[in-house]
Amino acid sequence: MNKLTVLQWLNEWFDVYEKRKVKQYTANSYKTIIEKHIGPEIGNIKLQKLRNSDLQRFYNALADKGLSGKTIKNIDAVISKALNDALKHGVIGSNPRSLNVELPKVKQHEVSPLTDAEIPAFMAAIDNEPFRNVYALALFCGLRKGECLGLSWDNVDLKNKRITISQQLQRNMETGQYFVEKSTKSNRTRVILMPPLTVDYLKAEKRKQDLNRMAAGEMWSNPDNLVFTDEVGRRISFPTLNGQFKRMVKQMGRPDLRFHDLRHSAATVALAAGADIKSVQQLLGHSSASTTLNIYSHVTEKMKEDTASRIQSYYDGLGQKA
């Protein structure tokens, strides 16, 4: 056991203790962190000889390479969990991470939603795109990519204009296969009341899928009853969707736009239209309202200014009445 290296323990910890405790998405993330970041840098150090100073030098080196504070924090979280379990199971006598280390500050990613002027241009640009209805759903309802592609017709109520978000499409990094995970990122099911326009796009997708199913005949296979599939019912892969999206937004003059920015656009429009923070939190499926406030502080600051103006106008009106 004294000869066990950091990488050997991390692999054992992941396979034996951690992999089955977390969602596939989290497991994929842990595996990537171990293989891409930890293993090449400190993987050969004997676990018993790992020191707090080794960890600090490691994090400093990651920062020097340009990794974001959030990425380094995620790497540290994996190391901390693995070392805590090593101590718990008697693999090490003391935990070098029990001492503090200095991590770079996590900078909030600046959101880049579509502007009011860009939304009509975006809608025109997607009109003849194969994934038009996916883009529209993300823009109007604020869904994540995996939530869009993992949406089942069982969770769509077109009559009452409601969709239930309770699952997501994910990819198993070991096998490369896509599967539907029966939970969301926040582990919370949410029901979204769709704008009527969204219903039109989903009805169009249903008609397209019905035609594809008839054309495919016995080749059709959609065991999860997904809303968005290819011509024979197979799941849409993330690279396929991303590739089509990047090509399209480049043509419309917004090459920096990410699919996730459609979710930001939905939140920004909702806030600008007067929705309260709690409602937007529930729309997006954030675990807390503070998360929503932090991400959309630029919008909420504008709302504060508008509120101040309305209050001023109200008192000005009182003065005129007097």
The residue ranking higher by pLDDT, 291 or 88, is 88
C-alpha closest to that of 104 among 67, 57, 136: 67
Q: Which of 27-31, 109-113, 226-230 has the lowest mean pLDDT?
A: 109-113
pLDDT at 298: 61
The predicted pLDDT at position 25 comes to 80
Please give the share of the chain, as a percent, with pLDDT higher than 90.
67
* Residue-level pLDDT at 319: 63
Q: Which residue has better confidence, 212 or 287?
A: 212
Indicate the average pLDDT of the chain.
90
pLDDT value for 186: 75
Residue found under tokens 């995620």: 74
Which pLDDT belongs to residue 303?
60
CATH superfamily of 118-270: Intergrase catalytic core (1.10.443.10)
Residue type, position 201, single letter: Y
Q: Could you please report the per-residue DSSP string of 281-292?
A: HHHHT-S-HHHH
pLDDT at position 34 is 97
Binning pLDDT at 50, 70 and 90, where does residue 297 land? Answer: low
Q: pLDDT tier at 263 (50, 70, 90 boundaries)?
A: very high
Q: Which of 183, 207, 196, 208 is nearest to 140 (CA)?
A: 196
- Is the predicted pLDDT of residue 36 greater than 60, yes or no? yes
pLDDT digits over 60-87, tens only? 999 999 999 999 999 999 999 999 999 9
Tokens of 169: 């499409």
pTM above 0.85, yes or no: no
Domain boundaries, given as residue ranges, for the chain:
6-98, 118-270
The answer, yes or no, to whether residue 12 has pLDDT greater than 60, is yes
Structure tokens at 50: 């790992």
State the alpha helices, DSSP H only, in the chain: 6-12, 24-32, 39-42, 52-64, 69-88, 118-126, 132-141, 145-149, 196-216, 238-251, 260-272, 277-284, 289-295, 297-321
CATH of domain 6-98: 1.10.150.130
